[in-house]
Structure 1
């Protein structure tokens, strides 16, 4: 009888140790998966936040240039009644002046466009028929060039697109890729210093295995131990 009780005790201890080992291993796997998923979500949130910050900073750079409007208008001639002459009307709707005006049709400068436009003001410049046709047709070869209050040089095409200029060592200009105006977005851009709150699901901590799983393992362990005891005591 003592041998039987000792054998039962050994079996119970072995089964209990095995069950605890399985339970602990399963817990570690679940925890590791939850931590990996949480880390991936946090990394994605950080990337999204950085993208928003960069976009907000770029919108701030584009704000004044985006508020410069260029239109082709037709003004009655002072010399010939019934004749209208083309003019480029440059309007500066920003709160800072723009300087160093110029215009180009292809590689050729358009004469007569120079100076600057004060904040909230506009100026009109007579242009040739060729320049008027190019602007009206939305030609990419037609552009108005100006410098904003920050000293950045911009090139604006008839469609409103903006290209930032960079002065080269030989004195010429290199123009970046075309960007769309950002006046509407700049009005309500998110502050880079105030990141939006992360979704609650992104900051979920690693959860413990559910109570149902724990009770299931305990019940199964109890049934196994009971079956072993019955077999050793009554059936052996």
Structure 2
């Protein structure tokens, strides 16, 4: 059951108190400062996994502000948490850490690539993506953006390799799993496409577009079996 933040708990922790103040004021700088003063990222990761609902929500929020690549697995696992509030906050924090998981210069370069990809300027984004990966080879989101470039340019073989490289560096990148499924579908491998979607939905069970995608593939497979005289 969700914790009513208006009702004081008998044992109020500093984290819970800071979180309640944040909910009332939306002052993210104050919240980050108060948490950083008393909690390490490793402690926040433990609370994200084992704390009460309010603590899990607060820990997920704090890791999005204070965490680095070392907390990605913890946040990735929390995207499938039983509590919807934890899932939503963990998802936002996961994506925030993914994007800033590099030196400031590389982060700025990534934002430029993302802007070009959002505008379907894949050819322009491609060269910037390749340069970025050369300088930051473990930057998982850079590999994801490179995959989007290849995908948009309809070079599906290179796109698949780039999505796989992204997932090698961050196995909880559910959008990479979803896009990998699309590539495999386009290349005619529906079984592996379904496998990728299963991974995607294991990480983010709320991703309805992936569920729709999976239903479409299963329907196509049934139609194909029927056309071949199979039951």
- Same fold, TM-score > 0.5, yes or no: no
Q: TM-score range by the shorter chain?
A: under 0.3
Give the TM-score normalised by structure 1. Answer: 0.25
Give the TM-score normalised by structure 2. Answer: 0.25
Structure possessing the higher relative contact order (Cα contacts under 8 Å, 6 or more residues apart)? 1
Q: Whose helix fraction is larger, Structure 1's or Structure 2's?
A: 2
User: Radius of gyration: which is bigger?
Assistant: 1
